Amino acid sequence: MKNKRIANIILILFLILGLAFPVFAEDAAVATVNHASTSGIDTLWVLIAAFMVFLMQAGFGMLEAGLIRTKNTCNVLMNNFLDFCMASTAFFIFGYAIMFGKGNGFMGLSGWGLVNVTHEGSIPLEAAWLFHAVFCGAAATIVAGGIAERMKFKAYLMYSFLVSATVYPIVGHWVWGGGWLAKLGFSDFAGSTVVHAVGGTAALVGTIMVGPRIGKFNKDGTANAIEGHSMALASLGTLILWFCWFGFNPGSTLSVGDGSFMSKVAVNTNLAAAVGALTAVFFAWYLFGKPDLTMSMNGALAGLVAITAPCAYVVPYEAMIIGFVSGIIVVLGTIFLDRIHVDDPVGAVPVHCMNGIWGTIAVGLFGREGLGGLAGNGLMHGGGFKLLGVQMLGTFTAVIFVVVAMTIIFKMIDMIVGLRVSRDEELKGLDLSQHGMEAYSGFQVFINR
């Protein structure tokens, strides 16, 4: 009997050793073997996703450059490039503390410069920071498209620092940092509101405050088309963005688990984008008589933005419905902006603001309790208006907050350095007037428009 007990113990020890040995070599602790391994995979996944979201800078850069005129290409590229640098720095010093620091329901107030931050969760602080920093950069860069071709470079630099240091992290705190919206049960899986509605609304405020480009609207109220200079760049940018969205949405699972969760998110993301693109192109074809490449691209982006909040909470056919609606929204939104004389050269508002709102609300319509950890059912699944109400409250509060905050910020910048270049500088092009350089030296370009 004793022997058996001894055998027992040996068996157990053998088991412990057998399992632990290779782990000891690595992590020097038995109890953490699986934990370590899980944490490793999860970090790997989050980092790769972060790298992909970083690449969105290239996507946005090419898309925005492609949709504006040659004479402002350097400017938009530079805005796009430096806003990420600004966002990296600002989010390092201020943003992360405001977004995830201990504070109140409105904002965090500790962890400036990432000093003395204790981080919970399976991934290390640094990975979490990088993942959120690239999201912040994405939100910031959305504005570059809306205010393109007429905002002063200095003004844009100041904007990009301020938005990344304050506006974005505050809304982020509400939703992802344990703020008041999180406590209400507001659910925005990967950021339809936090990233896109925030960025898109900032773009809306910016484009209204800086005013339409010279020549965009006629005296009789009709709009002119100011064609983008390279559909190849725009198309490349869109495809890069779609690719990066596979980091944006599935990456927001923040863990790999058995892989099924992130797979579902990836499939929803892809289907919403595909249906969004097809809807937009057919709808625009029906309205304008020709299939428009820019509309199909914006339709895909609209689908991607819209599925960003609900991607974890819905099933594929619902993702397709969400994508379908987003394709309609983006076309009508573009027409609507032209009607009300808001000049948004690349469609930042219909894509990011309008569809960011739509996607957030879609959670309240199609969300399924339990799926992706959602707390309640949406309207379509018998959850009544509760979740829907919270979602609408959340996204509209965020939009209103951004309108107020960005109005103040842009007013301030206007007073200090001025928002808009002079008429002459705008006609000459921002590349020459702001940067003293040309984007396409050697090519013969028309600069008469």
CA–CA gap between residue 441 and residue 431 (Å, rounded) = 11
Please name every residue paired with 223 in a beta bridge, in sequence order, or none if there are none: 217
Scan residues 230-259 and list those touching other proteins (CB under 8 A): none
What does the block give as tokens for 382?
């018998």
User: CB 281: neighbour CB atoms within 10 A?
Assistant: 22
Scan residues 251-290 and list those touching its own copies (CB under 8 A): 255-260, 262-264, 266-267, 270-271, 273-275, 277-278, 281, 288-290
12 touching its own copies, by CB under 8 A: yes
Burial class for 182, CB neighbours closer than 10 Å (0-12, 13-18, 19+)? middle
CA–CA gap between residue 288 and residue 274 (Å, rounded) = 21
Of 16 and 408, nearer to its own copies (C-beta) is 16
228 touching its own copies, by CB under 8 A: yes
Q: Which does 273 bind (CB under 5 to 8 A by kind): other proteins, its own copies, none?
A: its own copies
Shortest distance, CB of residue 12 to its own copies, whole angstroms? Answer: 6
What does the block give as tokens for 364?
């309240």
Q: Which of 106, 110, 126, 215 binds its own copies (CB under 8 A)?
A: 126
Q: Which does 338 bind (CB under 5 to 8 A by kind): its own copies, other proteins, none?
A: other proteins
Contact of 266 with 247, CB cutoff 8 Å: no
Which amino acid appears at position 42 of this protein?
D
218 touching other proteins, by CB under 8 A: no
Shortest distance, CB of residue 398 to its own copies, whole angstroms? Answer: 27
Of 52 and 331, nearer to its own copies (C-beta) is 52
Scan residues 379-438 and list those touching its own copies (CB under 8 A): 434-438
CA–CA gap between residue 188 and residue 310 (Å, rounded) = 7
Scan residues 65-124 and list those touching its own copies (CB under 8 A): 65, 69-71, 73-74, 77-78, 80-82, 84-86, 88-89, 92, 113-114, 122-124
What does the block give as tokens for 58?
């290239």
What does the block give as tokens for 25?
């070599």
Query: What DSSP line would sit under 14-34, residue for residue?
Result: HHHHHHHHHHHHHHS-STTHH
Please name every residue paired with 108 in a beta bridge, in sequence order, or none if there are none: 103
Would you put residue 202 in left (φ > 0), alpha (ψ -120 to 50) or beta?
alpha
Shortest distance, CB of residue 251 to other proteins, whole angstroms? Answer: 31
Which of the stretches 4-12, 48-56, 101-109, 332-340 binds other proteins when contact is defined by CB under 8 A? 332-340
3 touching other proteins, by CB under 8 A: no
32 touching its own copies, by CB under 8 A: yes
Binding site for other proteins (CB under 8 A): 215, 223-228, 284, 287-290, 292, 294-295, 298, 331, 334-335, 338, 347, 427-428, 432, 436-438, 444-449
